[in-house]
Amino acid sequence: MTGTPGATHDAPATRTTRDLTRAAMSGWLGTAMEFMDFQLYSLAAAIVFNKIFFPDVSPAIGLIAAMATYGVGYVARLAGAVYFGRMGDRIGRKKVLFITIALMGASTTLIGALPSYQTIGIAAPILLVALRLVQGFGAGAEIAGATVMLAEYAPVRRRGLVSSLVSLGTNSGTLAASGLWAILIAVLSEEQLISWGWRLPFLLSFVLMVFAVWLRRNLKESPVFEERADVVDGVALSRTEAEEAAAASGDDVLRQGLRQRKGRAFFVALGLRFGQAGNSGLVQTFLVGYIATTLLVSKTVPTTAIVYGSLVGFATVPVVGLLGDRFGRRPVYLALTLLTAAFAFPMMLLITSGSTVAIVVAMVLGLNIGVLGLFSLESVTMAELFGSRTRFTQLALAKEIGGILATAIGPVVAATLTAVTGHWWPVAAMLVVYSLITFVSAYLAPETRGRDLVRLEDAV
């Protein structure tokens, strides 16, 4: 696109229904792949990695070590968020999404080819961590990019519904990974699972990566990026260039966007992220390992519960998106976070009751209310909070810093606290704290429904 520095536009560039469909498919597939990769890893870390890569320690210490290798990926995600976020705001969303999907897919496939500790000793967990870092680096901007792309493509009155496809992608990936693990656990013996069965899901992800790369090669750029006032010939101006253009043109919108004091929108977004990210790490990662290794319940029970919860999520996610479009983001956020906090202790009582049905029901409800429902809102709200000039970077950073503080560290803290106390109450307390942080953030946030995404300034 060729433009004039400082030029403004009344509305985003239009896209056809076919373009929207392709963007939706690309966003859904990319996030599905990201979460399939990470769920494959998280379930492997909870179920078998302690035996494959950390066999010379006690089961409790092995679980903590496996959770730690799960967590290091979130450090790399932060680096990826900074690097690719800036690139996405500077040269466009499409190019970044092509790179991130390739990095994620390649590293995930290679994890499936790693030798075990028994084969090469300490080099095995070192290589595992290295590939986890590469995987995280690519994933650091993947979901942020897909979120931005879908929100910027979507019709304003259905932005919550369309943006929820990102959440459906995460749900699809979680379901695929959980389903694969449930099948492997059901049909393979313990020896087969540890010797070769665990590799299959990682190696099969290569097929999905090839399709996703092909799809993104044919994706058009975000219409909002093309219509930004500081984009010239498809590249965003640097801050100095944009300031010079603003001074020359006298454009008020551009000056306001550049001079606005930054920071508040980012911290609001970070707080919104905290509840969903923390609850996800506890429900989808830690509790799977806790139920199997500490409560000594069959491994099929928690993995089956995640599968059922993901299936229910195909209804939960779009319904929450529609509710956000109908009533606004804030009231739905407030309701979901209060429900999650209220359900935390009853959920853990059900999980520790010893009843298979109770465990499944508790995890299905916890996953849908405290994780998938919040994620559906998070996808659109965080995109609406930020101005178009730094939307990709700020959204990616908010997601990944929240991921490090909650999703990555949470399972390690939960594993440590439950080992020290010998009780389940720290898990429930953590769920309450995570949810209340998001409740306060939603209370302080402005209502963003219907906001013009071409605007350069943040919502607060």
Q: Is residue 352 part of a domain?
A: yes
CA torsion, ordered 19, 21, 24, 26, to nearest 10 deg: -70
Q: Is residue 299 part of a domain?
A: yes
- Write out pLDDT tens, residues 42-100: 777 767 776 777 665 556 665 566 666 666 777 788 888 888 888 888 877 788 888 88
- In the block, residue with structure tokens 């994780």: 371
Band (pLDDT 50/70/90 cuts) for residue 238 is very low
Q: Is residue 326 part of a domain?
A: yes
Q: Is residue 265 part of a domain?
A: yes
The structural domain count of the chain equals 1
Tell me the average pLDDT across 237-259.
48
Domain that holds residue 402: 17-444
Q: Which residues contact 104 (CB under 8 A, 6 or more apart)?
A: 33, 34, 37, 135, 138, 139, 142, 209
* CATH number of residue 327's parent domain: 1.20.1250.20
User: Mean pLDDT score of the chain, rounded to an integer?
Assistant: 80
Q: Which one has a higher pLDDT value, 25 or 56? A: 25
State which of 86-90, 170-174, 437-441 shows the largest mean pLDDT: 437-441
Contact between residue 91 and residue 234 where contact means Cβ atoms under 8 Å apart? yes
Q: Is residue 268 part of a domain?
A: yes
Question: Is residue 408's pLDDT more than 60?
Answer: yes
Question: Is residue 437's pLDDT more than 90?
Answer: yes
Q: Is residue 8 part of a domain?
A: no
- Write out pLDDT tens, residues 319-368: 999 999 999 999 999 999 999 999 999 999 999 998 999 999 999 999 99
pTM here? 0.76
- Write out pLDDT tens, residues 134-159: 888 888 788 888 888 888 888 888 89
Distances (CA, A) of 160 to 177, 323, 366, 441: 26, 8, 22, 19
Q: Is residue 460 part of a domain?
A: no
- In the block, residue with structure tokens 């998938």: 372
Measured CA to CA, the distance from residue 27 to residue 390 in angstroms comes to: 20
Question: Is residue 115's pLDDT more than 60?
Answer: yes
Please name every residue paired with 232 in a beta bridge, in sequence order, or none if there are none: 235
Q: Is residue 455 part of a domain?
A: no
Category of 2 on φ-ψ map: left (φ > 0), alpha (ψ -120 to 50) or beta: beta
- Write out pLDDT tens, residues 184-211: 888 888 788 877 888 888 888 888 888 8
Question: Is residue 451's pLDDT more than 60?
Answer: yes
